[in-house]
Structures are given as C-alpha cells and as structure tokens.
Amino acid sequence: MWRNGCHGPSSISGLRGYLLDRLRPSAGQHVANSSRTLLIICAGLVILAGCSAPTAPASDGGESPQPASGDATVEGTTEVHFINVGQSVSTLIIGPTGETMLIDSGHFNDDGEYVLQYLQQQNIERIDYFVTSHNDADHIGGNAAVINYFETEADGIGAVYDPGIAAGTETYSEYLDAIEQHEVTLYETREGDSIPFENVSVQVMGPPEPYLESEARNENSIVLKLTYGQTSFLFTGDAEDDQEAYLVEEYGSQLRATVMKAGHHGSKTSTSGALLDAAQPQAVIISSEYESQYGHPNEETLQRLAERDISTYWTATHGHAVLRSDGKQVTIATQRAAPTDPMSIRDGSPIDPGTTGTVERRATITGSGVTDAAGTPTTIATDGGTDTSAEQGEIALASVHADAEGDDRENLNDEYIVLENTGGEPFDLSGWTVQDEAGATYTVPDGTTLDAGATITLHTGSGTDTETDLYWGSGSPIWNNGGDTVIITNADGDEVLRESYS
C-alpha cells in the first residue's frame, strides 16, 4: 500500500518496492527537516526520492516543531558505548532520560550476536533511534537480527535512519525484509536533517545532497555530531578523503568534538590530518579486530594521531569502551588496561569480541566546549559561572575495588579506590577529602603529591602511607559492594569529582 500519492511498479514481476516512511509517526517522533522519503526497489537496486513524509500531528493542530539544535538540557549523564565487535563497529548511546540510539550493528559473519549480547547485558529494552551509517555488510550485519529481536521480544524500534544508497547483498535484503515485516518507520537521512534525541543535540552533517563520488557508500556515510553540555562526540562512519574534505570545508571548527570515532576502522584513507585539526578531539576510539586482514588501524593514521598527542583507545585491546558525560567532562572506562599512545596500541593484548566483564575507569577528559552557528567556541557554565573544568580534568577515579577477598571486615586493605592524575603536571592533593555517599570522610595528608600520569591507591584499612598507597584507617568497610558514590573535594572545599559505581 502506497501513501502520499507515491506509486510503485508493483506490476513488474519479482520487484519488491518499499516506501521508507510507510508508517505515519506518532506525535513526538522524528520528521526529517527536508520531509524526504525514499523508495527502494530491491531487485533493480533503484532509489527514487521525492515523496513527502507525513508530519506528526501536534496537540494544537499544527505541525510538530523540530527540536532546535543546542536546546538540550544538561541534567544527568549521557553514555556512549563502543562495543567490541571485531572487524566491524557498533555504538550504543544512552541519553540522560533513558532514550537510546544504536549506530550500526556489527559484521554479517556473526549476524548481530555480539551486539545483541551486549544490549541484553545492558538491559536495553528498546532502540529509539537505529542509525545505519551506510549499507556495507560489516556495518549492517546485525540489522535484521536487532530489528527482529526488539520487535518480537522487547519494546520495539522507534525508527531507522539510513543514508539511502542500496547494496546488492543478502545482508542488505534481509535488513529491508525485517523493516517491512515489522512495519518499522525508515527515513532517508541527509545533511541538515535532525534526530530528536531527548536532551542531547544531534546534528546530521552528512551525507550531502547531491551524493559524493558517484554514490560510493563509504563516502556517503551518515555523519553525526552529538553534543551534551560542553562535551561532544563525532561519528563519521566510513567516510574517506572526499567526505572528510567536504566536512572540513563546510563545517570547519564546528566539527570540534571531545571524542571522535576514527573513520573506516582506522584506515589510512580516513581520519585525515585536516579533519583531526578541525575536530581537535581529546580522545579517538578505533573499532577493528586485533589482526585485521586490512591492516587496521593503519600506521599512517596512528602517526597522525601521535603527532597530535591524541589518546587512542582500540576495541581490539581495550575491549568495550564506555564513555560517560555529565556535560562538563567525559570519563573513559574500558574492559582492559592497554596502551593509549597511538604508536604503542599494538603492544596491548587482544580481547575477543563477546568477552564479558565489567569496565573500569581509565581516564577523565574535560569538555571541549561547543560552537555557535559561525563555528566560534562558546563556554557553558553549568555551576553558576565558575569554570573548574581544568582543575577537574587533573584527577580521575581510575578504579574501585569494593568487594575485598573473603570477609570484607577482615580484609579492609583489599577494599580500595585508585586515583589518577590525568593532567600534564604534578598535582598536590594535600587537604583534599574523599567521601562516600553515607558521609564517611578521609582527608589526604599534607605533602601528598601525585605526578603526571601517576596513580595512588586509598585503602580502607590501616598501614603506613607511601607515595603510591594511602590508608583510611577505618575499622569497618567504607565502599558498598552493591554500589556507592565517590565524592572528591579539593582543599578549598570545592567538589571536583562525583562518580557512582554499581
């Protein structure tokens, strides 16, 4: 059944047509700015555009307004999960109100197994926004499985966002079959469209119109910039030199992001010097397998990252990477500790996809600010006007070991937290306090200095303080095994870190 006056060549034998927005969205769902729809005719791999997307009715009888970019409220945390899926990529984003976005779904050779396993471990019941960066089989490998699972065993898929360039693969056909079978809303998504992720600003920067490089799929990946407070994340799919050059020319400093996912699994044709100079990320995440048959990540790409002193996390050695933003700073937690120096990342030990286990805090980075429409950096003061981001960025909670071996009360020194100086200079902790959620407080002794990059362990029990170990002197456990909050205050009484664990 065709809507909005669109007609498909259904009389041609063997031709399966599908209207991308065949379902009318309910109030509050996304409507692309350009009101585009897409007709995909799979047998002929023909794409036609131009049908009008239905507009969700507003409560006042008019059209539902699009959320303005930058209107996001900074309250709570936004999580970005880079899932270890081997020679592929999949990213889960959980917004501050619990809405979810999934970008890509892994390789066709595992049929979404690793992605679904991870989503179930995270107790994800619904995918509100399912983004297909482009239709290569190593990015849509689990699309059909994810759609089928959430539409039959969980709370569904809100809508799927696709750049609109077909692929002649069985994986792509199965993806469309799942959409048609479950009547999931599907949008062609292009530069200038919007995705109304609640309290998170989502800017669609690509692909442009017309498409680049004769509709090559990599070069027309969906490019997203997510902004939450002073922090932002840039996702460029498998964009290569042409689309990256377009992005730099079109957006310039508006590309600036706190964290960036390396394009095309760290290929040498992506993550160019020009893009890195425009985005200025403080950390880059690479998603590929340990012994990639394609040589990912490429040494030239790693050299570009090293020249700019960008911390680099590789899912092949760090495993799952979970980044949490409170709007001012981003904490980075991974399954394994591994080198982040770009030229040393292969020194880490491989971690197989599907490996379970918790993540531990490795670093904290401060927000890089946001840019206005002209690309001019602006500063958001979320604490009433005091900018403490530089100070906060120097101390991080590297790990919490709350469950001591055996009886906690008899092994208090095996209950501990680890603090790390993530700044570039030595750091004086004298007079700082560490507190739990119940109000138990420890004061760091005078003369305690933490060198750049160094860690110090605070044990709950008693002992002799050293440069690397401090002792609370408590006669009973401090940190709850089931979850607690670590609160750190500087010598002036200013809270500089508050981190919960579970």
Which residues have CB under 8 Å from 374's CB, separation 6+?
none
Pair 31, 66: CB distance under 8 Å? yes
Pair 71, 320: CB distance under 8 Å? no
Distances 101 to 6, 161, 226, 289 between C-alpha atoms, Å: 30, 11, 11, 23
In DSSP terms, 266 is beta-bridged to none
Mean pLDDT of 469-491: 90
pLDDT in tens, 190-217: 999 989 999 999 999 999 999 999 999 9
pLDDT on residue 375:
40
pLDDT in tens, 20-55: 443 333 323 343 443 344 434 333 333 333 333 333
pLDDT on residue 73:
63
pLDDT in tens, 270-282: 999 999 999 999 9
pLDDT in tens, 431-462: 999 998 888 899 999 999 998 889 999 999 99
- Asked, as a colleague might, if the bond just before 210 is cis with ω within 30 of 0, I would say yes
CB-based burial label for 410 (10 Å; 0-12, 13-18, 19+): exposed
Would you say residue 390 has pLDDT above 50?
no
Of 29-38, 57-66, 466-475, the range with the lowest mean pLDDT is 57-66
Q: 390-501: which CATH number, 2.60.40.1260, 3.40.50.300, 1.10.3720.10, 3.40.50.720?
A: 2.60.40.1260
Pair 73, 61: CB distance under 8 Å? no
Residue 455 is encoded by which pair of tokens?
């860690």
Question: In whole angstroms, what is the distance from residue 502 CA to residue 486 CA?
Answer: 11
Question: In whole angstroms, what is the distance from residue 167 CA to residue 89 CA?
Answer: 18
Would you say residue 498 has pLDDT above 90?
no
SS3 content of the chain, % helix, strand, coil (to 5): 20, 30, 55
Radius of gyration of the chain (CA): 24
All CATH 3.60.15.10 domain ranges in the chain, comma separated: 76-378
Pairing type for strands 91-94 and 78-82 reads antiparallel
3-state secondary structure 166-224: CCCCHHHHHHHHHHHHHCCCEEECCCCCECCCCCCEEEEEECCCCCCHHHCCHHHCCEE
Question: In whole angstroms, what is the distance from residue 375 CA to residue 371 CA?
Answer: 5
Residue 188 is encoded by which pair of tokens?
């062609």
All CATH 2.60.40.1260 domain ranges in the chain, comma separated: 390-501
Q: What are phi and psi of 490, to 5 degrees?
A: -80, 180
pLDDT on residue 493:
80
Residue 104 is encoded by which pair of tokens?
């890509």
Domain 76-378 fold: Metallo-beta-lactamase; Chain A (3.60.15)
